[in-house]
Amino acid sequence: MRRLDARELTGRSSTHIHWLEEPACALHVDVVAPFLALRAAAAQAGFDLLPASSFRDFSRQRVLWNAKYRGERPALDREGRLIDMSALAPAERIEAILCWSALPGASRHHWGTDLDVYDRAAVAEGYELQLVPAEYAPGGLFAALDVWLAEHLERYGFYRPYQRDLGGVSPEPWHISYAPLATECLQALSPEVLRDALREGDVEGGEALIARVPELHERFALRVEAARPSVLQHELGDHRRMV
Ligand SMILES: [Zn+2]
């Protein structure tokens, strides 16, 4: 398995990424095969499992972050209510954005191991995907997919790091992660690596963020569900025997 260097870990380089045409997405070179195996298994169960988002680089994450910070793009609080950024002090803005968006450099999407998925077969033409918990809850469009993922993800080496509210990132049932590689990436993403990325970055709130790196790293990078040991042992060849 190919280890990521500091620039790859923080999305400032994409040398670890493979751009896939069908389905269109960008993943770590070693995650392509496990994801396609998962997608094929989902297809047999009647789901058209597609990535809504896969690899995202530092500059893309910075565009999202800066737009929210400046109030140019809507930001929501934990209850899903719109926030008026102009009324908030810098520290409050940072807190508000972190509820739903990753800090540039600290997004698991930088690694190419993580994706946001949905079922295209469940949505009508023109439906605007929201990626909100209600879509994955009982009665929601992706309720059946949610149940299927819970039962099958681990067999293909994936798991869901944002399953519960642990005080960091809000629950994201659509966010799946290739556990063996992502767990290594998380260990390699030290506060120092994150601080270096932010220093280089041109990120709104930069100085306040840099001063808070140890705390932010603990809450928004480390505070995730741990993958079970059996999933960590998933080997890249395994899915070929399983499917
Ligand atoms: Zn995600």
Whole-number Å distance, alpha carbon 99 to ligand 1 midpoint, is 13
Please tell me what DSSP assigns to residue 157. Answer: T
CA of 109 to the centre of ligand 1 (A): 6
Q: What global pTM score does this model have?
A: 0.92
- Span from the CA of 150 to the centroid of ligand 1 (angstroms): 17
Nearest 5°: phi and psi at 175?
-95, 115
**pLDDT of 236:** 63
The pLDDT value recorded for residue 28 is 96
How many A from CA of 34 to the centre of ligand 1? 18
Distance 130 CA to ligand 1 centre (A): 12
Q: Does a cis peptide bond (omega within 30 degrees of 0) precede residue 180?
A: no
pLDDT along the chain (243 residues), means of 10: 89 96 96 97 98 96 94 80 87 87 94 98 93 94 98 97 89 96 96 94 91 94 93 70 42
For residue 175, the CA-to-ligand 1 centroid distance in Å is 5
Give the residue extent of every domain in the chain. 6-238
Radius of gyration of the chain (CA): 18
Tokens 């994801």 correspond to 35
C-alpha 23 – ligand 1 centre gap (Å): 17
Residue 52 CA, ligand 1 centroid: distance in Å:
9
Query: Which pLDDT score is estimated for 117?
Result: 98
Q: Is 170 left (phi over 0), alpha (psi -120 to 50) or beta?
A: beta
Helix (H, G, I), strand (E, B), or coil: what is residue 83?
A: coil
- Tell me the CA–centroid distance for residue 5 and ligand 1, in Å: 21
Q: What does the DSSP 8-state code read for residue 102?
A: P
CA 69–ligand 1 middle distance (angstroms):
19
- Smallest Cα–Cα separation from 157: which of 18, 20, 31? 31
> 51 φ, ψ to 5°?
-80, 130
Pick the CATH number of 6-238 from 3.40.50.2300, 3.40.50.1820, 3.40.640.10, 3.30.1380.10: 3.30.1380.10
pLDDT for 84 equals 87
Exposure letters 98-117 (e unless 16+ CB within 10 A, then b): bebbbbbbbbbbbbbbbbbb
Angle in degrees, 0-180, between the axes of helices 32-44 and 143-152, rounded to the nearest 10? 120
The encoded tokens of residue 56 equal: 């995202």
Hey, what are 147's tokens? Answer: 């149940």
What's the 59 CA to ligand 1 centre distance in angstroms? 16
